[in-house]
Structure 1
């Protein structure tokens, strides 16, 4: 039943025109549809901005009813070694297409997860079977794709979805679902999602299942469903640290063990809020440096509670200067 479909699938764009925030790219993709053929394509950009959806819709528009027989999707993060290129990808690329279009299409998602050897093998496969198989390659970080692959593709850089575009789409979903939501909640979803439309829709759906105030999605339900804190609480925490208030140490335990945030979540929110603080630029630079150092230590396996309390000590020392 349609009601049982998760919203990110229920409201996934069905046409290129429904993809929001990527107008220039969409117009270029339409030209491929009009021409009836594509070349190797490379879509780069952060998660949730329409890369996969654009690849699928583009393929459907070109192949029509034959698209299922001529399209294969493979997530490189699941099989990132050279064997998947030598076996699965090469085998698919070497087979004959079905229907009027003289080539098949392979969509390789999260290709930046491939090993260097696998990328070199992919380059050779793209070169050898360029007539009978076109590749649409998707990645989050273009810099992780080797230059020989980039040079064989038309590169399209997908940007984060602007807040106004995201707001329009979320309001549309609320209307379709007959869901009451206040404006502050929509703003909070945009803050939490950071340009990721998929995440925004997931947060909205989760918040709708835990509405806390008169069956209206509000700020509290948004932040509870997103697993993040209200930015005002983070700002207050930073200010207390800079003022030497020892309660900032206690806040670390509250955020980690009561609110359930990870150390990386806390640092990410701190990073976002530092720019808005009314403090000297030099102090902001010092804070960014300390946040980066703390994030690096946690990523290397250090105890996040110890590192975050070190971060508080650094803030106190910085505020005392």
Structure 2
């Protein structure tokens, strides 16, 4: 179902690209941002732009839609007037003095007032590259920059002060769910309510990730919760919940057996386990708040130790032991059954 026949050839369409907004009017749930961007088009001018927000929040889609609409006023395809760079790959001073400066030097054509340079992941630009970029922004009046990143604090203040700032928050679960159902209907994919919820939970506001999961799961037929977790090689929440429950109820050997099955038999990483345990701890109201805070603190320490090269099984077995001790302190252990 993820495959379409185009121009006589069978090829894979990437749904995240296929359903990317083409114009500002196509963008959903970003009314205030779209209103401001349309104002720039009406004025026939653009400031330098700084788009900040998490992955999959529509930053790149918004600037490409703006470019489409702005250059369309001049009867022009936007692509010849736009340079797209990914600063995570091309982040040094060399690319700033090379490709960026060369593009900025080039003359405009077609009656357009300026060119546009889009720098995705601009918060990865090195500290010596950012001052060089600022100088180019000051020197060339026939080029505008749109800097895209996740962290505003990683952009130096002199660049921030020259840009109009736009913040893109994560999409809400309702927006992600609605988009998933819309695309599933358009593509003729059958998806259950559990499948929609699983994709929504796993994407955590990242619309691009949600669409990619949907497309991957579409190859397996009807999409339900188990299908979604299968295609992303993740275990379902109830499997982690059983392990946590066993530990809280004092059965360390059973909990450790479930842990080994997930780590070794299912190939789950220690980092994924930490994330899922973290989520489960918030979904267990029977744990008193003081104990929950202690467990979360311990889980944070384990997450750090894993980044330093500690062994997954040893660290997580120690956490299960901590759960057993915590469960023994809580009166009414039957609440965990």
Structure 1 contact 66–99 (Cα < 8 Å) conserved: no
Q: Using a 3 Å threshold, how does the CA distance of structure 1 residues 182 and 39 change in structure 2: closer, same or farther?
A: same
1:176 Cα deviation (Å)?
A: 0.9
1:13 and 2:21 matched: yes
Structure 1 contact 43–157 (Cα < 8 Å) conserved: yes
1:258 Cα deviation (Å)?
A: 2.4
Match of 1:83 in 2: 94
1:281 and 2:281 matched: no
Moved more, 191-200 or 96-105: 96-105
Match of 1:115 in 2: 126
Match of 2:218 in 1: 208
1:5 Cα deviation (Å)?
A: 0.9
1:38 and 2:46 matched: yes
Structure 1 contact 49–158 (Cα < 8 Å) conserved: yes
1:199 and 2:212 matched: no
Q: Using a 3 Å threshold, how does the CA distance of structure 1 residues 296 and 102 change in structure 2: closer, same or farther?
A: same
Instruction: Give secondary structure in 2 for the equivalent of 1:116.
Output: coil
Match of 1:26 in 2: 34
Match of 2:335 in 1: none
Distance 1:303 1:121 in 2: 43
Aligned counterpart for 2:169 among listed residues 159, 171, 186: 159
Match of 1:56 in 2: 64
Instruction: Give secondary structure in 1 for the equivalent of 2:78.
Output: helix
Q: Give a deviation string over 1:99-143, Cα, whole Å, max 9, x none.
A: 2222111000011112222222222222222x1211101101222
1:92 and 2:112 matched: no
Match of 1:219 in 2: 225
Match of 2:334 in 1: none
1:253 Cα deviation (Å)?
A: 2.2
Unaligned 5+ residue runs, structure 2?
A: 330-337
Distance 1:159 1:52 in 2: 13
Structure 1 contact 21–162 (Cα < 8 Å) conserved: no
Q: Using a 3 Å threshold, how does the CA distance of structure 1 residues 282 and 134 change in structure 2: closer, same or farther?
A: same
Distance 2:232 2:12 in 1: 21
RMSD of equivalent CA atoms: 1.7
Q: Give a deviation string over 1:6-39, Cα, whole Å, max 9, x none.
A: 2112211222222223222122112122222211
Q: Give a deviation string over 1:191-243, Cα, whole Å, max 9, x none.
A: 011111111111111111123xxxx2111101111222222222222222333
Alignment size in residue pairs: 316
Distance 1:30 1:223 in 2: 40
Instruction: Give secondary structure in 1 for the equivalent of 2:239.
Output: helix
Q: TM-score, normalised by structure 1?
A: 0.92
Instruction: Give secondary structure in 2 for the equivalent of 1:108.
Output: strand
Distance 1:192 1:303 in 2: 25
Q: Using a 3 Å threshold, how does the CA distance of structure 1 residues 128 and 303 change in structure 2: closer, same or farther?
A: farther
Distance 1:261 1:19 in 2: 36
1:47 Cα deviation (Å)?
A: 0.8
Distance 2:251 2:105 in 1: 66
Q: Using a 3 Å threshold, how does the CA distance of structure 1 residues 177 and 133 change in structure 2: closer, same or farther?
A: same
Match of 1:168 in 2: 178
Counterparts of residues 250-269 of structure 1 (less than 5 Å): 250-269=257-276
Unaligned 5+ residue runs, structure 1?
A: none
1:94 Cα deviation (Å)?
A: 2.4
1:128 and 2:139 matched: yes
Instruction: Give secondary structure in 2 for the equivalent of 1:42.
Output: strand
Match of 1:306 in 2: 314
Structure 2 contact 50–165 (Cα < 8 Å) conserved: yes
Moved more, 115-124 or 168-177: 115-124
Distance 2:224 2:296 in 1: 31
Counterparts of residues 172-187 of structure 1 (less than 5 Å): 172-187=182-197
Distance 1:113 1:12 in 2: 24
